Chains A and B, each alone.
Chain A
Amino acid sequence: MRAPASLRTTSAGRSLAEAKLALTEFFLGCDEFAPCAQTALEWISRHCEVRLALCLATRGERDRLNGVASVGVNAIDATEYAIELASDRYPLVGVLRSGHPTFFRSGQVRDTPLGQRSILAYPLGARAEEDGPRGLLLIPAASAALNPDLAWACELLSEKLIRLRASGLTSEVEAHHERALFTSLLNAVTDPILLTDTEGKVMLANALAERLFTSQDDDSEGRRRAVSLNNLLFSSSLAKQFSEHHEPRGRHELALVDPTEGSDLLFELLSSIVRQPSGQQVVVSVLRNITDLGRASRELGENYRQLREAQAVARHERLRMDLVIDSVADPIVVTNATGEIVLMNKPADRFFNPNGDSREEVQRRVRLNDAHFSSFVSKLFLSDQTPRFRDELSLVVPTNGEVVPMEAVAGRVHSETGELTTVVTIFHDRTEALEKALLYEQLKHFSEELEAKVHAATSDIVQQNELLRRQAIALEQASAAKSQFLANMSHEFRTPLNAILGYTSMLLQGVSGELPASAKKSLSRVDSNGHHLLQVINEILDITRIEAGRMPLHTSEFDLRALIAEVRNELEPIVARSKLDVREELPSRLPRLHTDRQKVKQILLNLLSNALKFTHEGWVRISVRHDARHKRLVIAVSDTGIGISPSEHFKVFEDFQQVDSSTTRAYGGTGLGLAICRRLAQMMDGNIELRSELGEGSTFTLLIPIRTKHP
């Protein structure tokens, strides 16, 4: 409570009497000491030139003075300042005993909020021998001389203190009543309540708490032990809370023993620290019996835990199953016995769930898919009880309306009693299969076409082969016929020619007597032409045989030197008639040849006779060289004859070709000789080469392998 404004605004102008009146009036209207003391101090400071003042008084406790009001002193320092009345030697306590205002020089009283100043202590309240409230007013002072206004104010305050103390007696009686009420209230609470010090020592307990924590000497041994155990438990719990926190907080469970029945009890302990007016810390603890609750709670907890475990297992199983069915790329739908969908994987979700898409077409497509699926399921229910049911249906992708042809395979799941519980349906996208089938059809079609074409082509080929075979047979027959014809013709030519040549020869030899010169000349011409005709026939026959492949090789081992001598010998009449120098240049050592002797001889006869035929003067030379590198013999027939222009070289080896027709007339011959020779040489893996210039003579070279590979 604050002093009225009129008091505080009192000015020097007003008379002191008015101020004293105002203070007295305030005292009359105030029932508490502290505001009275405060107002009195402010009055003193204003009217008695006192800057500092402190008022002490007893409050609840009689043995102690506490600061109740002050001026010019820190308010907290003032209220916390106390003087124990029990300490007799303390100078200020002596003031109360004497009952007279006392002056203390500086340093005599040190610990007051007024500091080291010399002070005047003015006793208030009851006299030394009286029982009653006491107080002290401390002000700085230069001497023990007392200002009469100050003394007046002190006396007024002292009287007020005594009066208030008298009225305080009645409130003490009321306090006793209140305490009784408080105790019965505490005892009426159904929970044990304890007031303890911080170490758990019981200071106050209600009846229920006393049952648990207090015992009498005449109590049974068991009860006393139970009580001491409970105290111990309580103390340790409290200590534990103090060690964990600065002050106990929240709920803690505390297990105690029922001292009368010996059964276990479980309490919930709520503790809070209360600071007493004296500053001592005490702990108020409320214990709530949760023994039954605890048991129920434990059971509940156990059940809950089991439930949680079961749920976890179920969730795990479900999760695993979800993972499994979600991992399947094909839609899977699980329905119950009434056809309701109970589970589906993500791919199925795509078809049967709009997934929050509110577009009308999406909803409609989902409904369409549902309808198709329902129809499938009802067909399944109507079908016989085979474990699997298969059907084809079309589903629509809700988001884009794409139609997906599906194959649905459903499996029935039955309970132990054989009841249908679940239907698992797996859809398989048939798009690819259908495309493949289409492709396969096309492929098959193409394949068949191809086959038909191949067949047609094959039959053509077969036909052509047959034709070719017949043609081959025909050709073979024709060839054979030709060969036979030629053989016959040859025979038919030779038989009369044999007679012609024979008789001519005989006539020329004079078998029928000497003939006239003119007849001899004519017969010589018959003979000459007959021989030419025979040569032509022979050469045509050779060419024909080579072309018909009827010129076999007869290989044998022979000496070339002897063969050349033989050739030379056969042509000796012609050589003798010519004036030519015919030479042979053969190395001393020659390998023996393994080839067709008759053909080599025929070639050499031809080459040498040609050389003799086309050479009019000079020489003809046969030279042989061993070409070891190519494993062959090189037989050159050179002459100094008319020669052949290089541009004509190719012609001499062609059938029926001589360099020009005039040579035929001039030299005779069929033009087949060299063609035959080259072919024969090639049959023996050899060849004939020509080196010649017109007018420079010719060299025909037979290259013949030492060993012919052909049989």
Chain B
Amino acid sequence: MSPSTALPLILVVDDYADAREMYAEYLEYSGFRTAQAKNGVEALEQAFSLSPDVILMDLSLPVMDGWEATRRLKKDARTKDIPVVALTGHALEGHSESAREAGCDAFLAKPCLPDDLVAHVKKILEGPRRAATARRPRGRKG
């Protein structure tokens, strides 16, 4: 893969390094540029400085959680148009709602396979304002 400045930049925000790095690795493998942040504050800093094309935002974060970070991003003129895809392992009802209220453009529940994630990112980039529907992967036949 040849990196190029024309490639979309995806900011992956997750405090769990294994997941953050996994998604980043697969995104790069899939032809995206990535930046990483491990909490909300870092996410804001990165977003303001790098202006990514899509932000993948885990919601449960130390220092500043994903909801707060998203609200701030959506309030700031520099970042308010950047799609934010919420990612959370909390499958309980209400999380997706609160994520949308905070300003997230899409919601993905963990576990989310890297290829599913990339598919969503691609879909968002193709239609930047198109809201993605949340879905949960079902078990497959073993």
Contacts and interface: CB of A to CB of B under 8 A. Distances in A.
Interface of A: 483, 487, 490-492, 494-499, 501-503, 505-506, 509, 511, 528-529, 531-532, 534-535, 538, 541, 545, 550-552, 570, 573-574, 577, 605, 609, 612-613, 668
A494 B89 contact: yes
Contacts of B90: 487, 490-491
Contacts of B26: 502, 506, 511
Contacts of B23: 502
Nearest to B58: A495
Contacts of B60: 491
Interface string B16-55: 1011001101100100000000000000000000000000
A609 B92 contact: no
- B interface SS class: loop
28 contacts: A490-B89, A491-B60, A491-B88, A491-B90, A494-B89, A495-B16, A498-B110, A499-B19, A501-B111, A501-B113, A502-B22, A502-B23, A502-B112, A505-B115, A511-B25, A511-B26, A528-B140, A528-B142, A532-B142, A538-B139, A541-B91, A545-B93, A551-B93, A574-B140, A605-B138, A609-B138, A609-B141, A668-B141
Contacts of A532: 139, 142
A671 B130 CA distance: 38
A616 to B, nearest CB: 13
Interface string B90-115: 11110000000000000000111111
Contact of B91 (A492, A505, A511, A538): A538
B136 interface: yes
Contact of A494 (B110, B113, B114, B138): B110
Given A495-B89, A497-B111, A531 B22 contact: no
A332 B113 CA distance: 112
A529 B137 CA distance: 15
Contacts of B89: 490-492, 494-495, 498
Interface in B121-138: 136-138
Given A490-B89, A535-B139, A538-B139, A499 B113 contact: no
B114 A550 contact: no
Given A506-B22, A574-B141, A494 B29 contact: no
B91 A494 contact: yes
Given A506-B25, A545-B92, A570-B138, 15 more contacts: A490-B89, A491-B88, A495-B16, A498-B112, A506-B26, A506-B114, A511-B25, A511-B29, A531-B140, A535-B139, A545-B93, A573-B140, A574-B141, A577-B141, A668-B142
Given A502-B23, A511-B25, A574-B141, A552 B111 contact: no
A502 B114 contact: yes
A384 to B, nearest CB: 89
Contacts of A550: 92-93
B89 to A, nearest CB: 4
A551 B18 CA distance: 31
- A interface SS class: helix
Contacts of A552: 93
A578 to B, nearest CB: 9
Interface of B: 16, 18-19, 22-23, 25-26, 29, 60, 88-93, 110-115, 136-142
Contacts of B113: 501-502, 505
A574 B142 CA distance: 10
A504 to B, nearest CB: 9
B38 to A, nearest CB: 14
Contacts of A492: 89
B22 A534 contact: no
Q: Which of B19, B114, B138, B141 has the most CB of A within 10 A?
A: B141
Contacts of A541: 91
Q: Which of A495, A545, A668 has the most CB of B within 10 A?
A: A495
Contact of B142 (A483, A531, A545): A531
B141 to A, nearest CB: 5
B36 to A, nearest CB: 15
A498 B14 CA distance: 13
Contacts of A503: 22
A491 B137 CA distance: 15
B18 A499 contact: yes
A414 B79 CA distance: 115
Contacts of A534: 111, 137, 139
Nearest to A539: B139
A517 B29 CA distance: 22
Nearest to B23: A502
Query: Which 6 A-B pairs have CB atoms at the shortest separation, nearest pair first?
Result: A535-B139, A498-B111, A494-B89, A491-B89, A499-B18, A528-B142
Contacts of B22: 499, 502-503, 506
A475 B12 CA distance: 40
B110 A495 contact: yes
A551 B91 CA distance: 12
Contacts of A497: 111
Nearest to A510: B29
A668 B142 CA distance: 7
Contacts of A538: 91, 136, 139
A703 B89 CA distance: 33
A531 B116 CA distance: 14
Contacts of A573: 140
Nearest to A570: B138
A49 to B, nearest CB: 179
Nearest to A499: B18
B87 to A, nearest CB: 9
Nearest to B28: A511
Q: Which of B60, B89, B112, B115 has the most CB of A within 10 A?
A: B89
Contacts of B137: 534
A663 to B, nearest CB: 13
Nearest to A532: B142
Contacts of A490: 89-92
